[in-house]
Amino acid sequence: MSMNSVYLKVPAKPEYMLVIRLTTSAVASRAGFDVDEIEDIKMAVSEAGTFVMNQDKGVEWLELTFKVDKEEGMWIDIFASESVHQEALFSNREQSELSFYIMESIMDQVEKAIDNGFLRGIKMYKKFGG
């Protein structure tokens, strides 16, 4: 089993979504996903990025980890530099709920990383040929 990792840290600003999206598509294409899957992964990652970013104005950085296993698929973690207050989760609830459902429908696994009641980020996984 060979695992390759890519780390990315960008300012938590909407204009840096482009950097995240481009990196995501480059890594996903290295991993061997086809174009439709790459579009899906990109969509899920930008949803997650916006999701984490919008929870709290205090988030300064987004930290992304991509892990690629040539046989299994790809894991992506999207974390905020600071913990996001769990109560903030309920701000603009309808929208964030929907965006979470979207992530869940296009990835094979999505979970919120919660640390002491604070949202830290989102972990997702996409398997090959899924």
Partner 1 sequence: MSIQTSTKSGAENLEILLKEYCKTRDIELRNLLVQKYLYIAEIIAKKFVNRGIDYDDLYQVASLALIKALERYDINKGYKFSSFATPTIIGEIKNYFRDKSRIIRLSRKENEMLKKLDEARTHLSATLGRSPKPEELAEYLDMTVEEVLELMESNQKANPLSLDYYIDEDNETELSAVIGHEEDGYINVENRDFIDSIMDKLNDVEKKVIYERFYNQRSQKDIAEEMGVSQMYISRLERKILRKLKHMFKNSI
- Told to check if 98 binds partner 1 by CB under 8 A, we report yes
Partners of residue 123 on adjacent β-strands? 77, 111
Going by C-beta distance under 8 Å and a sequence separation of 6 or more, which residues neighbour residue 85? 55, 56, 118, 119
User: Count of CB atoms within 10 A of residue 40's CB?
Assistant: 18
129 binds partner 1 (CB under 8 A): no
- Tell which positions 105-124 bind partner 1, by CB under 8 A: 105-106
Q: Which of 25, 104, 114, 125 binds partner 1 (CB under 8 A)?
A: 104
Phi/psi at 106 (nearest 5 deg)? Answer: -105, -15
| Closer residue to partner 1 in complex, CB, 34/60 | 34
**Paired residues of 102 in beta bridges:** none
Of the ranges 14-22, 59-67, 73-81, 101-109, which one interacts with partner 1 (CB under 8 A)? 101-109
- Helix or strand or coil: residue 130? coil
Greatest Cα-to-Cα distance within the chain, rounded to the nearest angstrom: 42
CB of 98 to partner 1, least distance (A): 6
Q: According to the binding rule CB under 8 A, does residue 7 interact with partner 1?
A: no
Stretch that binds partner 1, among 10-18, 65-73, 78-86, 96-104 (CB under 8 A): 96-104
